[in-house]
């Protein structure tokens, strides 16, 4: 690793493997995933439901259930390997240096407490300030996410906010401790299209104005195209393609990526393109490339050997035998 890369890289995950153990079997859900995130950048991770996106990010925070088996060379955040931290030391990272924005804002807030109390609780836990100071910081956090009259609305309850405003409260909670990294796990799933666009604009503003690094997990490539600096496409627990966003959207390579982009609605077309077949379940045993049963370009090697992620100039990586040099 070069000196410049070390300075600029905030998060680096190397050869991450995740499995879940039950009484009679061990099921692999993520295999050999590696990626890095530079300071102040927004990384979009996309793929169909069940492809391992959320599990991958929860492993960074070590928030997986006890039956999860996590193995990796390292998960480095600001120079320290999170896998080696004690639970006590992790508490200084979670919510403080790395903030998580969960999927559903309506179920992430406690209906019995005001939004101000909930934001202040996070601030007092991590920043060690008194209640008066915490309230001032909470009001400022609400102002940063463009909630009108924050000094009044801080005393309101979640049911008094719309879904989009509840999501802004969650984002304010994440921002309140000035984290270096925000992980947003499907943050717009429960919101309508107009509010989704507003939330995406807000993420971009946070990234640009505060220099916060963001990982945005979603199944929606259209959202990613508006905000991401880099894109990772996952399929069945593996990275299928990885590239800078402008390169990816102008020149997608993996057949799965092409299928996802082709399936986006277009104003001048009446019919939607679809990817034939269904994603494999974690119990399916597929030899070779996991996408080959659905791939229109598959040939014999695809069915027999699993490809590896190979990068070309410009940082464009693809895991597909159509592009492997050897």
**pLDDT for the residue numbered 195:** 86
The separation between the first and the last C-alpha atoms of the chain, rounded to the nearest angstrom, is 25
* Locus of tokens 């717009």: 188
Residues 141 and 19 occupy one common structural domain? yes
Count of CB atoms within 10 A of residue 32's CB?
A: 16
Q: Are the C-beta atoms of 254 and 233 separated by less than 8 Å?
A: yes
Q: What is the pLDDT of residue 3?
A: 36
The answer to whether residues 165 and 95 belong to one domain is yes
Do 33 and 66 reside in the same domain of the chain?
yes
26 and 138 assigned to the same domain: yes
pTM value? 0.91
CA distance 260 to 244: 17
281 and 141 fall within a common domain: no
**CA dihedral over 148, 169, 88, 34, signed as positive or negative:** negative
Based on the number of CB atoms within 10 Å of its own CB, is 290 exposed (0-12), middle (13-18) or buried (19 or more)? buried
In eight-state DSSP terms, residue 281 is: P
Q: What pLDDT does 6 receive?
A: 43
- Considering the domain architecture, whether residues 161 and 93 belong to the same structural domain is answered as yes
3-state helix, strand, coil in the chain (%, to 5): 35, 25, 40
Supply the range of the domain harboring residue 311.
234-326
Find, among 324, 318, 299, 312, the residue nearest to 252 by Cα. 318
Same domain, 89 and 174: yes
The secondary structure of residue 39, as a DSSP letter, is T
With beta carbons less than 8 A apart as the criterion, state whether 319 and 304 touch: no
Looking at the fold, whether 139 and 204 belong to one and the same domain comes out as yes
Residue where a domain terminates, one of 228, 245, 268? 228
CA Rg value for the chain: 21
- Residue 166 shares a structural domain with residue 248: no
CA dihedral 98, 102, 105, 108 (to 10 degrees): -80
Return the pLDDT at 267.
64
Q: 121: domain CATH number?
A: 3.40.50.300
Domain count, the chain: 2
**Residue 182: other Cβ atoms inside 10 A:** 23
What is the full per-residue pLDDT of the chain (326 aa) written as tens digits?
A: 333 444 488 999 999 999 999 888 999 999 999 999 999 999 999 998 889 999 999 999 999 999 999 999 999 999 899 999 999 899 889 888 999 998 777 788 999 999 999 999 999 988 888 999 999 999 999 999 999 999 999 999 999 999 889 999 999 999 998 999 999 998 887 778 888 888 888 999 999 988 999 999 988 888 889 899 999 999 999 999 999 999 999 999 999 999 999 888 776 766 778 888 888 888 888 999 999 999 999 999 999 999 999 998 788 999 999 987 65
Report the distance separating Cα 269 and Cα 254, nearest Å.
23
Query: Which residues touch 210 (CB under 8 Å, ≥6 apart)?
Result: 175, 178
Provide φ and ψ at 71, rounded to 5°.
-135, 130
**Of the residues 228, 249, 267, the one at which a domain ends:** 228
- 63 with 149, same domain: the answer is yes
The residue length of the chain stands at: 326
Packed helices 163-175 and 193-210: angle between N→C axes, nearest 10 degrees = 20
The answer to whether 158 and 109 have CB atoms below 8 angstroms apart is: yes
168, 95: one domain:
yes
Task: Single out the residue of 168, 183, 172, 195 nearest to residue 105, CA to CA.
Answer: 168
DSSP run (H or E) holding 122: helix 115-127
Are 10 and 53 part of one and the same domain?
A: yes
Q: In the chain, what is the greatest distance between 2 CA atoms, to the nearest angstrom?
A: 67
- pLDDT reported for residue 223: 86
| Residue that finishes a domain, picked among 211, 228, 245 | 228
Q: Are 163 and 78 in contact (CB under 8 A)?
A: no
């Amino acid at each position: 690793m070069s000196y410049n890369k070390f300075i600029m890289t905030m998060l680096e995950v190397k050869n991450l493997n995740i499995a879940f153990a039950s009484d009679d079997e061990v099921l692999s859900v993520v295999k050999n995933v590696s990626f890095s995130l530079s300071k102040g950048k927004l990384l979009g991770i996309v793929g169909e439901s069940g492809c391992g996106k959320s599990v991958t990010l929860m492993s960074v925070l070590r928030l997986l259930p006890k039956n999860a088996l996590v193995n990796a060379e390292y998960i480095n955040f600001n120079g320290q390997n999170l896998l080696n931290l004690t639970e006590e030391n992790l508490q200084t990272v979670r919510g403080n240096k790395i903030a998580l924005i969960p999927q559903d804002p309506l179920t992430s807030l406690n209906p019995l407490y005001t939004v101000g109390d909930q934001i202040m609780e996070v601030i007092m836990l991590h920043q060690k300030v008194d209640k008066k100071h915490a309230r001032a910081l909470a009001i400022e956090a609400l102002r940063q996410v463009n909630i009108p009259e924050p000094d009044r609305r801080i005393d309101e309850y979640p049911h008094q906010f719309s879904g989009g405003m509840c999501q802004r409260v969650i984002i304010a909670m994440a921002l309140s401790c000035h984290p270096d990294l925000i992980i947003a796990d499907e943050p717009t799933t429960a919101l309508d299209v107009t509010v989704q666009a507003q939330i995406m604009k807000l993420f971009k503003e946070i990234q640009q104005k505060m220099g916060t690094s963001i990982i945005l997990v979603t199944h929606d490539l259209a959202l990613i195209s508006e905000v991401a600096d880099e894109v990772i496409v996952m399929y069945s627990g593996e990275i299928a393609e990885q590239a800078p966003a402008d390169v990816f959207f102008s020149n997608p390579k993996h057949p799965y990526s092409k299928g996802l982009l082709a399936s986006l609605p277009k104003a001048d077309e009446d019919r939607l393109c679809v990817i034939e077949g269904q994603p494999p379940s974690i119990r399916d045993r597929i030899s070779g490339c996991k996408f080959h049963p659905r791939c229109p370009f598959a040939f014999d090697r695809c069915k027999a050997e699993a490809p590896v992620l190979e990068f070309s100039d410009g940082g464009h990586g693809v895991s597909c035998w159509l592009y492997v040099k050897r």
